[in-house]
Structure 1
Amino acid sequence: MTTRRKLMAGIGASAGIGLIGFKPAYAAIRPPVTRVEPVVMTRFGITTIDPYRWMENPKDPDWVPYAKAQGAYARHVLDRLPGRAALEKRIAALSGATEAVRDLQRAGNNLFLTVRPAGASSARLEVQGEDGTRRVLFDPNTAKTESGAHVSLDWWRASPDGTHVVYGSSPAGSEESVGRVIRVADGVTLKEVFERALFGPAYWLPDSSGFFINRLSDQTMQGTPDYFMKSVCWFHKLGDDPKDDLKAATFGLHQMVDLTEVEFPILMTADDSDFGLLLGIDGVRRELSIWSAPLEGITKGLPVWTKICSQADTITGFAHSGSTLYLTSEKENPLGRVVAVDLKEPSLTSAREVVPASRNPIEALSVASDGLYIQIMDGGPQRLRRLSKDGRLHDLTMPFEAGIYAVFSSATRPGLDMVLSGWLQHRSIWNYNPDTDQFSDTGLSPKPNIDLTPFESKRYLAKAKDGTQIPYVVMAAKNATKRGPAPCLADAYGAYQVSNTPFVNPRSLAMMELGGILMFASVRGGGDYGRPWYEAGKKATKSNTWNDYIACCEDMIARGLTSPAKLTIRGTSAGGVAVGRAMTTRPDLFAGVICDVGCVNLSRSEVEQNGPANFPEFGDPRVAEDYRNLVAMDTYFTIQDDVSYPAVMVITGITDPRVAPHQGGKLAARLQALPKQKKPVIMRVTFDEGHGIGSTRGQIDSKTADEYAFALWRAGVPRFQPRA
């Protein structure tokens, strides 16, 4: 057993400074020196030592100075890379040259769009009338907070008749949405204001007279582990004062609705249905709890709820039209089958199968007036199947090998619209017409005038430690590896059953134009092959995630595509587990590591506001088996004093509501203090950004330039080497 004396001695050696305070005078020329206050904790027989636990308190007087100094040091390092400024200019030209449309909704005689105009910083809400004329309803580019922070459009939904839109916006990438209503005819914002409306959008009644909206409890405090707990779903009648809204659902409100404290109650409607569906969404868990009741009773405060399924029933998707509820059931088959429930007499036991399980997993369901659409995952690319009203099932012929990034449909309209992208096909909005059985590009999202023909994408398979074949995709200029191994930025995620679907980001061309290659690994924990692939990289099997990542990197090297001296790996958010543990497992394999708002200290998740919501994904630290798994996937606690790690760039935004900034702060401090760490460790900090959701185009351009410049610097590309 490791004694407290040995643990304390180890921390003293790793820090090399003892209990020394922060010295801001050195911030611009070398990493800040910060205080070390070792906390020894033994839990379930596992002892950990945490030298920087004080960072978990954002009100600690040393935290903001430390973060500012780290940010200043990172800028000092990155801005000295000679090619960085030109790289950011090129990225900005690629990202902003063309208008981009992200979301749409057809309602009444209007078409509503989320539009980021060419050259603009943020997306805005527009409406297009029958005559084709478009006008702006809400533009965050012209809105600022009193402190000068930028504002982001977070979510919106138009009423079925197209006369009103309810939307949420927040400052500085915080995702702390405030809801408001716009009257479409004259663009006037109504008096209603909905605080703490983080989990939009709102869902309208079919007659457009009101909507249901989820809001955080006014009893919770931001930054605490119970912040997201016991949220409330309210019914708001259009024109009323929100203080008079009806509490429709929350923990403990109705005897028949056994919501847990963690579940978010979301009440959903369909344009052609008299029934409402109450969803209990347990953080990031895919399994749903669902109740149904007639809308008339819900809006009067006299709901007659019937429970349709619980999490144990393994229902992972739904769509409803009229009195029919379609459900994706994974209980009998982990790849999913579709069953139908009659909402007039709802019972899962009497549900009838309408689409049997196939060899490909079901991703999502959408309903239109002509039938049910089933989104299928096929190892990364996605496609659609259609169940027509007469019961015929057929596969739709996709316009290209695509990733489906959004589907927009209504039970009162035929067909659907969707956002598609390929590895080398620009993102665009397509429409499927069931009468012609054809897809067509709507032209609503103009394609950038960017030639993709000089580039190529190739799919490879790597052999994992246990023999499993792990797919990965490499994108590069067609001659990138002609002269030997190329600089490479590799990416992996591997969580929440999120798949590695085809997508081309115009910004990435800037990296490839300089001879760099990009790799995307479909590691386990993701959803490329459905639930079995997901479960094989979760909790007790999480080590597969980073070992698969390592296997893909080794396979690239064996093929001569890159080399350890030219390879930088990156992981974002939950991908912090993949990138961090790949680094601590094989520090010899990489030249650089980028951890972008990454989860690197998950064994301490119970102290974060978003921690409990992630217990289903990573584990509950209060449970012995889960805690052992969490410590094993915890990058911060697997760092060794006697190892020299690759160069590391930690990225965090101070307003991040999803991964607490102290995770990155701890990691950077720990690595910088290692006695054998010779390669640079920097922490890029911004104070007007969060998790990246809500960042402006310019902010994303700047971060992308930093990531690419860092990778090219570590790969030894001459134009990115700092001058002596």
Structure 2
Amino acid sequence: MRKALILSSLSIAASMTFAHAAQAQTAATAAAKLNYPVTAKGEVVDEQFGIKVADPYRWLENDVRADPKVRDWVTAENAVTDAYLASLPGRDIFRARMAELFNYERFGLPVKKGRRYFYARNDGLQNQSALFVRDGLNGTPRLLIDPNRWATDGATAVGDWVPSDDGRLLLYSVQDGGTDWRTVRMIDVDTGKDLPDVLEWVKFSGFSWAKDGSGFYYSRFPATKEGEKFQALNENQAVYFHRVGDPQSADRLVYATPDAPRRGHGGTVSDDGKWLVVTSTEGTDDRYEITLIDLTAPDAKPRTLVPGLVNNWSYIGNQGSIFFWITNKDAPRLRVVTLDIAEADPKPVEIVGEDEATLDGASIIGGTLIANYLVDARTEVRQFALDGTPRPKLALPGIGTAGGFNGKADDRETFYSFTSFATPSAIYRYDVKSGKSKLWARPKVSFDPASFTVEQRFYQSKDGTRVPMFLVHRKGLDLSAGAPTLLYGYGGFNISLTPGFSATRLAWIEQGGVLAVANLRGGGEYGKAWHDAGRLANKQNVFDDFIAAGEYLVKEGITTKEKLTIQGGSNGGLLVGAVVNQRPDLFAAALPAVGVMDMLRFDRFTAGRYWVDDYGYPAKEADFKALHAYSPYHNIKAGTDYPAILVTTADTDDRVVPGHSFKYAAALQAANIGDKPHLIRIETRAGHGSGKPTEKIIEEAADLWAFAARWTGMVVTPPAVAAAKTVR
């Protein structure tokens, strides 16, 4: 038996060696024939604080929908990229395997309203999840909304949805082509028919129903000028009340700050229905001003409860005049306090004090305060009485991420999800009184989660800071020569990277690859101090953390420089672009997605103006100099060999407008940075990521992994053969 296994392994190794040589030859031939489109250079030079900054590709900022020259450039770039990607072996194998991995029934968290339970469900390969309802927990599922019927390309999705408290009506938003703009509609749950109500100019809005179901509160922006919808700055957001059956023109303005147009506002109806809690912010930081509006008094003036945009004040719920909040006031890792709004000048009363773990969310269900904590980027769920007395922790299935725990304060039940890197999300029903969880939905998948290893390690950054990193690979993977490794990072906006399942990533891991996820500074894993250490003047710490992660992986023998790919999206795209400029020798390939690449002009488009909280103001000298020093577009090092780079973006991204990636890719292709390919893949009718159809997710990931495989030496084989690679 052992001899047969050895011979089998030798046979596989020989065939892989031959296959690798053939793959390398094919891709090398394709690379040699790359002929990038000629991108016209302008003469734009801006001078700021005595520094002249050339911006030759400024014209690529123009909206692709409106400018034929930009549209032609996109077509030409995609033609080159598509031809190259089509030449890569392994792409079809990745695509086919990801289709298998995606093909499992997936459920969203149920929402209970009245006696009805609403939830999203995808049968596996549907482009968009559909919305279902049950009358009673064990009632027969009934299809309520199926967005897969809305567009032939599957690029129109259901965004947010919120049922009325009695479960009779449901409002839902429609997201078309990936844009952040939403169209809001309503449906009669009994009949399944849409109401005539249609709301536009809605973006970055929550929705909160009046307790009597007469209407709901939402936020919207003023209509933009013709042709500016997808690029104009988002300012003057205001809170409105929409009464069911009225045209949007009749909606009542509830709260606005025209004297402070950069402030955004969202309204939440209090648990008892007596108050509208208006949360105002000016950027991406958790720095809020809280305003209360008495809903029992029609002419009540807004009352500022927490002024100043200084700290996080996140409303949890209320018991009469006692309002519960999560705050980082005097608690960088957050705590729970109450404010008694019956007092003229309420002072915080601590209910749950700050802990070494980071408080990540809380809710009041069944008279119990359920709090999510991050313990080294892993979820721990703790429970407290409303006076702060600890109750037993909720036992989770393992190391991973739990989320949910939504519902009404007097509900006995709630639902939560649990996932990890090799475990798709399962849904649990939790009985608060008994403290018991019961499985509600668990997907059946085409792989064995037990065949993968998930571990957490810690490494030192440049300044000695201890940084956590998750590693995922097949059990028994031979790392003696280092494995092709995908290193992912984000590092910004107080966002934490926690364990979560990805069918696309699993396809990489199955081929003998390693996934590494680094919890860089700038995120929220360790509270406000961790975030502050990676933003504004400290942004270089994020890049140092990511570079140190790569160096650690090489030092530990997990991979080599020739087998290391880095990936990140949005702020993570900026991360990838910056570290490639700073350490091009450390990586074989780079995959920056929808990145913020021009750090001197990011605040001039759509939501970019919010990001000054993390990046600073390009118009301020100190911030400008820091931004100019690491801006990916402005710091490409000619005369240095760069890794292979595949930039990805979408023509309808109105979060990070695609001009960032367009300009960056044009600059890469014009620079003398070596012979490896530096390409851009531009998706159509897709935005920043949300609402992307399953089909497009699979197509894009197959392209990314095939590209990374080519430049890290991974030999892509059918899954059965790939599994044999783990044999030592």
Q: Same fold (TM over 0.5)?
A: yes
2:179 to 174, 178, 193: 174
CA contact (8 A) 1:233 1:267 kept: yes
How many angstroms does 1:229 deviate by? 0.6
Q: What residue in structure 1 maps to residue 498 of structure 2?
A: 501
How many angstroms does 1:491 deviate by? 0.3
CA contact (8 A) 1:158 1:164 kept: yes
* Aligned-partner Cα distance in 1 for 2:444–2:380: 21
Q: What residue in structure 1 maps to residue 274 of structure 2?
A: 274
Paired residue type of 2:132: E
Q: What residue in structure 1 maps to residue 145 of structure 2?
A: 138
How many angstroms does 1:119 deviate by? 2.3
What does 1:531-550 align with in structure 2 at a 5 Å threshold?
531-550=528-547
2:42 to 37, 52, 61: 37
Deviations 1:593-632 (A, max 9, x none): 0001111112211321121111112112122222222222
* Aligned-partner Cα distance in 1 for 2:651–2:232: 20
CA contact (8 A) 2:89 2:706 kept: no
* Aligned-partner Cα distance in 2 for 1:192–1:312: 35
Per the alignment, in what secondary structure is the counterpart of residue 47 of structure 2? strand
How many angstroms does 1:486 deviate by? 0.5
What does 1:670-681 align with in structure 2 at a 5 Å threshold?
670-681=667-678
Normalising by structure 1, what TM-score?
Answer: 0.90
1:711 aligns with 2:714: no
1:110 aligns with 2:110: no
CA contact (8 A) 2:116 2:134 kept: yes
Alignment root-mean-square deviation, CA? 2.0
CA separation of 1:476/1:352 partners in 2, compared to 1, >3 Å: closer, same or farther? Answer: same
CA contact (8 A) 1:235 1:246 kept: yes
Q: What residue in structure 2 maps to residue 328 of structure 1?
A: 326
How many angstroms does 1:345 deviate by? 3.4
What does 1:88-127 align with in structure 2 at a 5 Å threshold?
88-95=95-102, 97-127=103-133
1:471 aligns with 2:468: yes
Q: What residue in structure 2 maps to residue 368 of structure 1?
A: 365
CA contact (8 A) 1:175 1:694 kept: no
Paired residue type of 1:336: L
Q: What residue in structure 2 maps to residue 227 of structure 1?
A: 233
Q: What residue in structure 1 maps to residue 168 of structure 2?
A: 163
Q: What residue in structure 2 maps to residue 341 of structure 1?
A: 339
How many angstroms does 1:389 deviate by? 3.6
How many angstroms does 1:390 deviate by? 5.3
Runs of 4+ aligned structure 1 residues displaced above 4 Å come to 223-226
* Aligned-partner Cα distance in 2 for 1:372–1:230: 35
Q: What residue in structure 1 maps to residue 263 of structure 2?
A: 263
CA separation of 1:681/1:663 partners in 2, compared to 1, >3 Å: closer, same or farther? Answer: same
2:432 to 413, 434, 453: 434
* Aligned-partner Cα distance in 1 for 2:284–2:382: 26
Paired residue type of 2:114: G
The count of corresponding residues between Structure 1 and Structure 2 is 680
What does 1:407-446 align with in structure 2 at a 5 Å threshold?
407-443=405-441, 445-446=442-443
How many angstroms does 1:317 deviate by? 2.4
* Aligned-partner Cα distance in 1 for 2:664–2:185: 39
Q: What residue in structure 1 maps to residue 58 of structure 2?
A: 53
Deviations 1:138-168 (A, max 9, x none): 11100128xx673111111000110000000
What does 1:586-601 align with in structure 2 at a 5 Å threshold?
586-601=583-598
* Aligned-partner Cα distance in 2 for 1:225–1:449: 42
Q: Which moved more, 1:413-422 or 1:205-214?
A: 413-422
Q: What residue in structure 2 maps to residue 14 of structure 1?
A: none
Q: What residue in structure 2 maps to residue 292 of structure 1?
A: 292
How many angstroms does 1:29 deviate by? 5.4
CA separation of 1:229/1:335 partners in 2, compared to 1, >3 Å: closer, same or farther? Answer: same
1:452 to 449, 453, 467: 449
Q: What residue in structure 1 maps to residue 135 of structure 2?
A: 129
1:63 aligns with 2:60: no
CA contact (8 A) 1:341 1:347 kept: no
CA contact (8 A) 1:487 1:712 kept: yes
Paired residue type of 1:432: Y
Deviations 1:50-85 (A, max 9, x none): 121111122443211111111121111111112101
* Aligned-partner Cα distance in 1 for 2:674–2:59: 23
CA separation of 1:466/1:287 partners in 2, compared to 1, >3 Å: closer, same or farther? Answer: same
CA contact (8 A) 2:224 2:232 kept: no
CA contact (8 A) 1:220 1:227 kept: no
CA contact (8 A) 1:308 1:346 kept: no
What does 1:146-161 align with in structure 2 at a 5 Å threshold?
150-161=155-166
CA separation of 1:184/1:345 partners in 2, compared to 1, >3 Å: closer, same or farther? Answer: farther
- Gaps of at least 5 residues in structure 1 are 1-25, 253-258
How many angstroms does 1:527 deviate by? 1.2
Deviations 1:671-698 (A, max 9, x none): 1111243110110011111111110011
CA contact (8 A) 2:271 2:317 kept: no
* Aligned-partner Cα distance in 2 for 1:440–1:320: 26
2:192 to 187, 199, 202: 187
CA separation of 1:519/1:38 partners in 2, compared to 1, >3 Å: closer, same or farther? Answer: farther
* Aligned-partner Cα distance in 2 for 1:442–1:156: 21
Q: What residue in structure 2 maps to residue 13 of structure 1?
A: none
Q: What residue in structure 1 maps to residue 27 of structure 2?
A: none
* Aligned-partner Cα distance in 1 for 2:311–2:716: 53
Paired residue type of 1:230: N
Normalising by structure 2, what TM-score?
Answer: 0.90
Paired residue type of 2:471: V
Q: What residue in structure 2 maps to residue 517 of structure 1?
A: 514
CA contact (8 A) 1:546 1:577 kept: no
Q: Which moved more, 1:433-442 or 1:593-602?
A: 433-442
* Aligned-partner Cα distance in 1 for 2:43–2:109: 48
CA contact (8 A) 2:128 2:154 kept: no
1:203 to 201, 204, 208: 208
What fraction of aligned residue pairs are identical, expressed as a percent? 28
How many angstroms does 1:409 deviate by? 2.1
* Aligned-partner Cα distance in 2 for 1:334–1:355: 14
CA contact (8 A) 1:37 1:51 kept: yes
CA contact (8 A) 1:272 1:412 kept: no
Paired residue type of 1:472: M
Deviations 1:263-322 (A, max 9, x none): 22211013433111011132322111111122133xx4x233211113544124221224
Deviations 1:111-149 (A, max 9, x none): 01122222211012111112511112211100128xx67
Per the alignment, in what secondary structure is the counterpart of residue 272 of structure 1? coil
Paired residue type of 1:137: L
Q: What residue in structure 1 maps to residue 391 of structure 2?
A: 394
Deviations 1:367-395 (A, max 9, x none): 22312222211110022222224542235
* Aligned-partner Cα distance in 1 for 2:142–2:206: 21
* Aligned-partner Cα distance in 2 for 1:214–1:182: 20
Q: Which moved more, 1:382-391 or 1:166-175?
A: 382-391
Per the alignment, in what secondary structure is the counterpart of residue 577 of structure 2? helix
* Aligned-partner Cα distance in 2 for 1:571–1:707: 12
Deviations 1:410-453 (A, max 9, x none): 2231343222212333211223322222333222x534343112
CA contact (8 A) 2:497 2:525 kept: yes
CA contact (8 A) 1:157 1:201 kept: no
- Gaps of at least 5 residues in structure 2 are 1-30, 718-728
